[in-house]
Every structure is written in C-alpha cells, then in structure tokens.
Chains A and B, each alone.
Chain A
C-alpha cells in the first residue's frame, strides 16, 4: 500500500531525531502500534485509519487546510461534497447503511454551521457519526477571527458529545473517545473541533495509548429477574398482545431475537418508520408501519391491545397520536437502552432498561409457546375492508400515483435494494408500499424529518455498500434542497438511481392545508426545473414518466444504466397520504381515503 508507506516515510522525515521508531517498513500497520512523532493533521488521519475509517465526506477550507494537506499520505478516500450539509448526511447515510461510524469533515465558521442540520438529523435518529471541524488558532479563539464560530457551543444540544481540541497531544485521545461515544449505548453524533495550530503542531502519536477508558454503560440500566418474570407473566397472560419494533432492533442487532419472540408467542409485530426492515414485511406476523400514516389495522390493533411490548422504540408523537387516548387497555413493557426514554411519553408497567438483544436473550427462555390465533384472526379480519380500498388494488386507469411507483419499484427490484427517502408524502408512501424484509434497506430521516436528506444520504449509503442497488426516492421539493450533490455523484463516478416523485407541490404541507387549513395552498405550489435536463447538465441520463404503463421500462432503463440515472415521475398533483391521524387525535380516529375521492381510480375510468 503505497499510501501508508508514504505516510511513514514522511512522518520519519519530519520527525528528525526526536523519536527513532524501529518499524518494519513491510508492516502497513506499523504506524498504528509504534509511537511516532506526527503533526496533528497526520494524527487525525492516522487515528481515523486506526478506527477503521476508509471514506470521509468533506469540504476543505482555511482552518482545516493543514489536515487536507496531510490527507494524501493516508489510505482514506475523501468525497468532495457540494455543501457541508451533504457531508453530514452522507456520513449519516453511510452509518445507517453499514452500521459503522460515518465521518464528515469541514472547515471552521460556515463550513461548521452548514453541518448542523445533518448533525441534528443524526442526533434525532441515534446515528453514529463523527464530524470533524477545523477552527481558528487557539491564540485567537473567542476573538471573532475570520471564519470563527463557536461550533462546540452551537452543536452542544444536537450532539451526544463534542470536543474542542487545541493541542496536538490531545487529538488522538479525543478522536478515539469520539468514536467510542458515537457507537456505544444509544448511538449518536459526536463533533471534534480542532484548532489550526493543533493541526500544525507535532506530538507523540501512540494509537494504543490513546485508547479511551473502557466504556461505562449508563448506570441506570436495569434488568433483573423480577422484571423479566413480570414481563414473561404479562406475555403469558395476554390475550391481545402487539410487539412494537423500533430502530433499536437494528441498532442492537436483535432481529433474530424479536422474530423468535414473535413466533414463539404468536405475537403480531407493528413497526415504527425507522424500525422498517427490522422485522420482515413478508412475515405473516408483520403488521407494517404504525402511527400517523400507519395502516388502519395496525393502529386498531394497538388501540385494542391488552399488552404492548415496545422493543427499541421511544413512543414518538408520530407513533402514539394523543397520549391520553393511546392504547388505554394495554399494559406496557418497554425494552430500551436509554433510561431517559422510560416513562417519558407513555407510562409503562415493566421497564427493562438495557440492550435490546441482551434483554431478549434473557427474556426468551421464560417464554413458552402460546396460542395467539384468535387475536391474529381478529386483526386479519380487520384488514379485509381496508385492503380492498387500498389504492394499490384499484385497476390501472393510466394515471400515475406515487403509491404505484413505490409498489412497482418494490416489485421490480424484488425488494432487494437500499431505498433512501427524503421527507414528506413520498416518504410515507414508500413506507406503506415498499416492503422491507431486510434491515438497513430503508434509510430515512425520521425524527428530525430533514428535507434534502435523500440524495446525500444515498451517496453515503452507496459508499457503505457499493455492491447494492441504491435508490434515491425524493419529492420535487426536498430534492432541490440538496440537488447540488448530483455533481458529487458524477465526480465520484458512482451508480445511484434517482426517483423524483414530482407532484408540483410541497405535497405533505399541501395535504395539511387541504385537511386543516381550508385548502389555502399558501406557498406550496412549486416550480421546479426540468429534472431530466438538470441531470443531463451533470452528464446524468434520465427520463420523465407520466403514465403507469411507462414505469416498468423506465425503471429497467435506470437499473441497467452503467452510471447514475434519474427518473422524474410526474404523479397526481393533489393526492394525499391515507390513512392519516390528524395531530391531536387518537390513534383510531384516522382520516380515510374518501369514497368519492376525485383522484381515486374507478373501474369506469378504464
């Protein structure tokens, strides 16, 4: 590996007589185990290499230039973004797709502040990323120097932790600790702000010595025999139980355990948006997504349940509707790694506070076979009427509905693709009509609901799993927020398929205006560029799709194209996502697709 040898040669040259490491030039990892004198910039990259990082997403600038100057000596691929928000989202997408820590890097001031939306996105969804920012020299910190901003202050509430490093000596330790914090317990973003002089100064680099203290789990984690027994007892005695599976299922890699619990005790499983993929959609016990745009039968099942087993989810308001009317007949078991989530929104009867996988491993031996057929039949019966009115089951009238696009994408790809969505109506349609059987195949901004997330996050996901088929599914509004990253795709020569669900509106906002603001479509109609031409300007081929009949050929063209491809789906303009629970209503008080929906396809339309 030429890179690594360069690094070492350079390091030795700069180091002069200070330390004389007797490294074996043939050992590519020698620089990690042998203490060496390096500049802060070199320490930065060497530590990242040591932590297993091979790709970073960033944008250079004055205060981070020393670090960029040293980059060429290390085996790390740097992806040049077009806006630092993209760098944070890419690191996020990389982390979500791979389960590893994503890394973003930016300069001080505006570079750093541009990361903030991406950091907050990762924070709300518990995604492990490490963001590195340069800052002005420590001598002028706090003087409003050029491009100086207090980024550790700014990001304090949206990071799990952050560091200001102003000495090269402290850098390796801070970075290693940052990685540990990002990936441990409930994961989250960590920012390391490094002053320019800390990058330029030299220090002894010893990767092993910079190892952080053994991770201390949250002291309030608590799983004991009596809690486990209570939980098992509740499960044994329940008539109408439902498992609520969240993002934690994936984060703690508890897919098998959740599945075993569901199968052994015949308990149906409802999923949160971020939980999709944690339990196979094709499984007979899968109910699909719950909450504001969840299917009627899921939400009814929750409202009728006598026991909820919440696994790695946090009873978000989009999942519960009004709390006072939420699942009032049900006892609740909450299995959760973050003690601060217990009894936050919903009072629970049994709290098992710990890593989901470990807790389930302890709980499962106490669970024996249980006959759940009566309850499953009741739920199945409640699907009937609803399923028939599902837009997907209506005959093709030639109109193009977003739901069709999602369904057909799923059908054509066989579900074997990583879908990265933006935020809004298309996101909910994706969740409803693209059935995810595998974890980490849906990447979406749930907690923060960040428009502009899809394109950069998909680039990150593609770097995490280059062998997988990656689709961006974005609305015409959100896509324009970060469309500049099209150029990044071209520069990095990566293959990503882009599906724009184009309805000429900020669709979800329009839907709220339709339902709750008397159709006052204030500032929601949206003029967009011709996305196919926009792609073309980047050298990315594409085509527009106006009818369902054109869809399959278009999707196939995109899939078989050697490089990136953009599809502009011109869907029904004023379609809405159904069912919908209005904010402030109970989970069962949902708005259904109206019988006389002017948009609904009818047999006679044919």
Chain B
C-alpha cells in the first residue's frame, strides 16, 4: 500500500541522505519526496510517499525516529488529510490554438504563468488525480507537452496538528469549520475534473 510520512528534520547538511539511505536499506522506492522550511525554526518539513506492505508503516516510522536528525514523524496512513501537488507544465501553443488551452486551464482551475509566441506554461495545484487529468487531456494532442515538473505530494492532517509547537500552544485537536470548507472545496475541484 501507499504510505505517506510527514517528518520534521533538522535543517542541516546530510540529513536528507540519512532519510533516503534508510529507505534504500529497506529496498523501498520513494515515490515522491518534498522538503521545505516549516513553522519551526531550524527544522524542515518533509512529506515522503512510498510503496510498502501495510505492516511496514510502524517499522518505517520507528526507524525514522531512530535517526538523530529526525525530530518528529507522522504516518498519515488513512487519516483525514489534505494532499496537494504542484505541477508546472509547458506546452507548445501558437496564437491560433492558445484559446483552447486557456479554456482547459479554466476548467482545471490552473493558471497560465508564462506565455511566449510558441509555448505557454501552466501552473496547477491539486490532488494527484486532478493533475494527471490535465496531463491526460493535454496529451490528446501529440507533441503538445514540452516539459512537466511536479513537486511530489505535500500532506497535512486535517484538524490534528503534528507540530509540538502548536500542541504546546494548547490548540485543541479536532475538526474545525475551516476543515469542512476545505473538503467542500476539494469536492468541487474534483467535480470540475
């Protein structure tokens, strides 16, 4: 099954190697990995998606915790969460067929972020299936897609907070009004596809 781990790691040289090396040792392929700064100073937050047996989750999480530079690990598993991916897609487009792509972008709620006489760049954020959907539609025209750059998944639990900083602030875990709004939004987005 697909496992999603969210981890807070020290922001210093060599830390990513240690995380990656753990998966290499377990002979597990990393499907996607995103890393960036977090709300906690000196700590990066990463989202790592990998394919492993359903029982492997606990062991991987325990092994991640054993890395000295790893501060916090959450195994998202089936927990309610929001997952997004960012894609930049460059497609060939001439003044004659641009309008068609503009329409597509509109339907997918994507944005055009660069435009030249021969190509344009689409930026899209969403769940994986939505991005796959756009790519599929774009591929209907052979040779139209010039480049694809995808960020990999970023995941955050709904309601529940991983961050001990937030825990320390005494924020009560649980669903909030905002969460429902997100769900609605996502449902709407999926419908659009």
Contacts and interface: CB of A to CB of B under 8 A. Distances in A.
A and B together in one complex: yes
Interface of A: 152-153, 156-157, 160-161, 164, 181, 218-220, 338-340, 342-344
A157 B25 contact: yes
A340 B59 contact: yes
A362 B59 CA distance: 25
Given A339-B58, A343-B58, 16 more contacts: A156-B17, A156-B18, A157-B21, A157-B25, A218-B62, A219-B65, A220-B58, A220-B65, A338-B66, A340-B59, A340-B63, A340-B66, A342-B58, A342-B62, A343-B55, A344-B59
B167 to A, nearest CB: 13
A563 B65 CA distance: 48
A152 B12 CA distance: 15
Lowest 3 A-B CB distances belong to which pairs? A339-B62, A340-B62, A161-B68
Contacts of A164: 14
B61 interface: yes
Contacts of B61: 220
Nearest to A156: B21
A342 B59 CA distance: 8
Nearest to A220: B62
Contacts of B14: 152, 164
B26 to A, nearest CB: 10
A161 B21 CA distance: 13
Contacts of B17: 153, 156
**B contact residues, range:** 10 to 19
A219 B7 CA distance: 13
B66 A218 contact: yes
B16 to A, nearest CB: 12
Interface string B55-85: 1001101110111100011000000000000
Residue of B61, B65, B67 contacting most chain A CB atoms (<10 Å): B65
13 contacts: A157-B21, A218-B65, A218-B66, A220-B61, A220-B62, A220-B65, A339-B65, A340-B59, A340-B63, A340-B66, A342-B59, A343-B55, A343-B59
Nearest to B13: A164
Nearest to A218: B65
Contacts of B18: 156
Contacts of B66: 160, 218, 338, 340
B94 to A, nearest CB: 47
Contacts of B68: 160-161, 181
A131 to B, nearest CB: 16
A455 B73 CA distance: 42
Interface in B92-140: none
Contacts of A153: 17
A126 B21 CA distance: 20
Residue of B21, B58, B72 contacting most chain A CB atoms (<10 Å): B58
A161 B17 CA distance: 12
Nearest to A343: B55
A156 B17 CA distance: 9
A64 B55 CA distance: 46
B25 to A, nearest CB: 6
Contacts of A157: 21, 25
A294 B17 CA distance: 40
Contacts of A340: 59, 62-63, 66
A29 to B, nearest CB: 29
Nearest to A153: B17
A288 B26 CA distance: 33
Contacts of B58: 220, 339, 342-343
A470 to B, nearest CB: 33
Contacts of B21: 156-157
Residue of B14, B17, B25 contacting most chain A CB atoms (<10 Å): B14
Contacts of A338: 62, 66
